[in-house]
Amino acid sequence: AGTYFPKQPTHGMPSFRQVLEGLADAWRERRDDVESQGERVVEAIARASSLPGSVEPLSDEIEAEALESLARSFDDTWGGFGGAPKFPQPMTLEFLLRMAVRGKPGAEAMVVRTLGRMASGGIYDHVGGGFARYSTDARWRVPHFEKMLYDNAQLAQLYVRAWLVTRRDRFRRIATETLEYLLRELRQPEGGFSSSQDADSEGVEGKFYVWSWTDLVELVGEDVARALGATPAGNWEGANVLWLSQGTEPDDIELDAARRRLFETRERRIRPATDDKVLASWNAMAIQALVEAGRAFGEPRFIDAARTCASFLLEQLRRPDGRLLRSWRRGHQGRPGFADDHALLASALLTLFETTGDEGWFHEASGLAGALVDLFHDAEHGGFFQTGSDEDPLVIRPKDPYDNAVPSGNSAAADVLQRVALLTGDAELERAGVSAIRLVRDALSRAPTAFGAALCALDRYLGPSREVAIVGDPASPDTRSLLDEVLAKRFVPNVVVAVSPAGVIPQGLALLEARPQVDGQPTAYVCERFACKLPVTRPDDLLEQLGVVTG
């Protein structure tokens, strides 16, 4: 088995033709051996898919051990973990940011160093915004130039949250430029987002993004060219990848005008091809990032773009019976959605609900959470299958516990089902979600970079978690001031928010039941497992009650 076979044999790797010829020969000449080996493989996969979840406690020690493991593998100079090739690993950094908010020593420094170095490196597009898939070196200097929707959505969200924690202006700028890139380059007219842009243009890797020394000097001058890491001989295969080799922008050189001039010139080049299929899970992550940036930065157009994308997914990526689908392309619907499609879209819709107060998003999220359990949950062994029980049976129904480039369905389900349970009081949803954490419990501290999203779901379980019920018109300034205290002014892990006008309780939203206003004013209730503190009407009082979380 392999993930890639070249057209011609290279570097000891057989060509695709040789692989096919070898398979055909084995099938003709050694059929019995092949079938016997196939049976053993299936048995091994079946055993792995049916392993029960751990019965050992889910404790703070797991987080502490994971944090120690990450510190040991951290690159103190360039940020990130391990050597080349180096991947951004936003889920791992999200876990570290949570630990930083909890005051764990060393966690914030690892996040800040990594995000700063990535923003300086060639992995970031200093002309047009957005991140490439990974760096071919340990310094984030030379990227593999392909740009993926899922990377940029996750990284934009991470930079937003890091800005809320550190208030570093640079993190806000990087988040904004990355989302502007998504809106400009990947957003389709219907509102969904394309999956990726190629590394190649005109058959040459990176041609769209790199520069000759002569062109740079002519366009922006020698001082700016050197500030952007360029040299007369080139810093990569005779051309120049733009990067900030000193880790930050020089104080004595204004780069913004130069970037605009380079962008205008680059726009006249032949751009890389775009993979224009729309995937539910990847678009869900884009919705999440847009909403969080919109409320944190006061940018309504980001939230509007998120609404449009969510409406598009719910209209076009569903069958008439309501079954969520995985993909869409130019009017053609794809196969039934996987566990991660349901979990990540439910999470994005919950974030839209808590931000806008539109109860329709809550109902859609709740429906997806129910389908997630009905179609994918393994009631016998715990965790979630990748494919639904309503699909044609496979040889083995797989589970994917690992968080690789995107959160696994297992981890995404663990997080969102806890969120829904905290809003609805549905203990069965929480048990199903936590079973997904138990499935990988013993691996979390040993291999934290493979389970970044699972560690974040564990952090939600360990808490402390808080539910905030806000009773008031979501459009009124007084209600918004209470919402902003929780959602827009700071990153508060493990808080869920429900907002609705007085006397209006969306069906199933138990958190809002029996929550009257005080003196007819928008009122907030801070609760833990539905046991609430005294209601408050002033943002300062709400912040004080949340201090146990943010301190």
- pLDDT score of 50: 66
User: What is the overall mean pLDDT for the chain?
Assistant: 94
Q: Is the pLDDT of residue 551 over 60?
A: no
pTM score over 0.85? yes
Could you read off the pLDDT of 79-134 as tens digits, one per residue?
999 889 999 999 999 999 999 999 999 999 999 999 999 999 999 999 999 999 99
Could you read off the pLDDT of 201-227 as tens digits, one per residue?
999 999 999 999 999 999 999 999 999
pLDDT band per the 50, 70, 90 thresholds, residue 49: low
Provide, rounded to the nearest whole percent, the portion of the chain with pLDDT above 70: 98
Q: Is the pLDDT of residue 406 over 70?
A: yes
Mean of the pLDDT values across residues 458-486? 95
Mean of the pLDDT values across residues 308-312? 98
- pLDDT score of 48: 62
How many other CB atoms are there within 10 angstroms of residue 530's CB atom? Answer: 13
- pLDDT score of 549: 42
Q: Is 454 left (phi over 0), alpha (psi -120 to 50) or beta?
A: alpha
- Tell me the two tokens of residue 548: 């146990």
Could you read off the pLDDT of 146-164 as tens digits, one per residue?
999 999 999 999 999 999 9
Q: d(Cα 347, Cα 492) in Å, to the nearest integer?
A: 16
Q: What angle separates helix 300-316 from helix 280-297, to the nearest 10 degrees? A: 160
| Phi and psi, residue 504, nearest 5° | -115, 115
On whether the CB atoms of residues 466 and 547 are closer than 8 A, the answer is no
- pLDDT score of 252: 72
- pLDDT score of 464: 87
pLDDT band per the 50, 70, 90 thresholds, residue 459: very high
- pLDDT score of 41: 80
SS3 label, residue 193? strand
- pLDDT score of 44: 74
Task: List b or e across 123-137, with b for residues whose CB sees 16 or more CB atoms inside 10 angstroms.
Answer: bbbbbbbbbbbbbbb
| Phi and psi, residue 277, nearest 5° | -75, 145
pLDDT band per the 50, 70, 90 thresholds, residue 544: very high
Could you read off the pLDDT of 316-373 as tens digits, one per residue?
999 999 999 999 999 999 999 999 999 999 999 999 999 999 999 999 999 999 999 9
In this structure, the strands spanning 495-500 and 466-471 are parallel
Q: Is the pLDDT of residue 540 over 60?
A: yes
